[in-house]
Amino acid sequence: MDYTEFFAVQKGLAVCYSGYRHGQRPGHLYPTYKQVKEDLLIIEKQWQYIRLYSCDAHSKTVLEVIKDEKMTLKVMLGAYIEAEENNVNCPWGGSYALEQLSKNKKRNLQQMDALITLANTHPDIIFSLSVGNEACVDWTDHLVSVEAVISYVRYVKAGAKQPVTFCENYAPWLDKLEQLAHEVDFISIHTYPVWEHKTIHEGMEFTKQNYDNVANKYPDKLVVITEAGWATESNGYGIPQDNVNDDVQKIYYKALSHWSTSQSILTFVFEAFDEPWKGSDDPKEPEKHWGLYTVDRAPKLAMQPIGYK
């Protein structure tokens, strides 16, 4: 099915949302209904679309809040898939016992079932589905084969009516994921100039190049950007400290929003709020600082109106 026309009329701004606050983390302590409502009231003022990463308790609360509070937000819902293969290329550890990999495969299929169930339960809220996130790129710690992802795409398409995608870094779409590209209803790419050592002066052109390279390879496929952003803090690991702050995030966010809107490219900014649970224990770990709002829900410079005190 061709969903290009469907997405062409879905104009609006989009953001990735994960609402974990201090002391909360996936699989342990989840944001409450009240906290999620607070977040979505902030988000609804800025964006029309949000992306969720897993069919877990947090996502279920988000869908519940949107439904109960009669919000207008639309959701791209994802299933989080875990490693089915070992990956020696992962710098932070991608090796697992065979028993664990077998368990992961069973859990991944359960995630697909949950994705289908939620999609059918909330068809007026969930407008698209993703069967995974960054599970095929060469550095991932949750490596899944292309063939397995294709099987998940087919499985979900058979059980749900929404268009189905897979969210991945732009690079694998240029070669490794070519077979998968023909299976998904639309292609979803991630682009992070700052992770690839681009300065703010190079960042937006790099993002455009990433998008164009994929879009030109698949001229008959809709390409959506499901992650693009700029961190505001770094400990120097992976991202030079002088290449991230509130000012450069604002520059990139404004340029990204203007370009994607003018070109009618659905683009999910990464991300709404800082998440302190991510990465290492170092408080300056860059993984913790991609939010356009702090973990305390204070707007960073990119979200502040002129004259904000």
- Residue 38 lies inside a defined structural domain of this protein: yes
Distance of alpha carbon 105 from alpha carbon 220, whole angstroms: 32
Specify the CATH number for the domain of residue 262. Answer: 3.20.20.80
Residue 305's pLDDT is: 73
In a domain, 133, yes or no: yes
Domain count across the chain: 1
Element housing 98 (H / E): helix 98-121
Share of the chain above pLDDT 70, in %: 95
pTM above 0.85, yes or no: yes
Distance CA 76, CA 165 (A): 10
pLDDT of residue 133: 98
- Confidence band (pLDDT; 50, 70, 90) for 10? low
pLDDT, position 298: 97
What is the band of 308 on the pLDDT scale with cuts at 50, 70, 90? Answer: very low
Name residue 56's amino acid: D
309, pLDDT greater than 60: no
In-domain check, residue 308 = no
Give pLDDT, residue 9: 43
Per-residue pLDDT tens for 247-269?
999 999 999 999 999 999 999 99
Find the domain containing 195 and state its range.
4-303
In tens, the pLDDT along 228-251 reads 999 999 999 899 999 999 999 999
Residue 31 has pLDDT above 70, yes or no: yes
| % of residues, the chain, pLDDT over 90 | 93
Is residue 49 a part of any domain in this protein? yes
Nearest CA among 124, 112, 197 for reference residue 155? 112
Within a domain: residue 309?
A: no
Q: Is the pLDDT of residue 201 over 70?
A: yes
Burial class (CB in 10 A: 0-12, 13-18, 19+), 94: middle
- The confidence score (pLDDT) of residue 307 equals 47
pLDDT at 123 over 60: yes
Burial class (CB in 10 A: 0-12, 13-18, 19+), 68: exposed
**Considering the domain boundaries, does residue 72 fall inside one?**
yes
**Mean pLDDT within 148-168:** 98
Residue 260 to residue 44: CA distance in whole angstroms: 19
295 in a structural domain: yes
Residue 265 lies in a domain: yes
With CA atoms as reference, report the closest residue to 61 among 45, 81, 77. Answer: 77
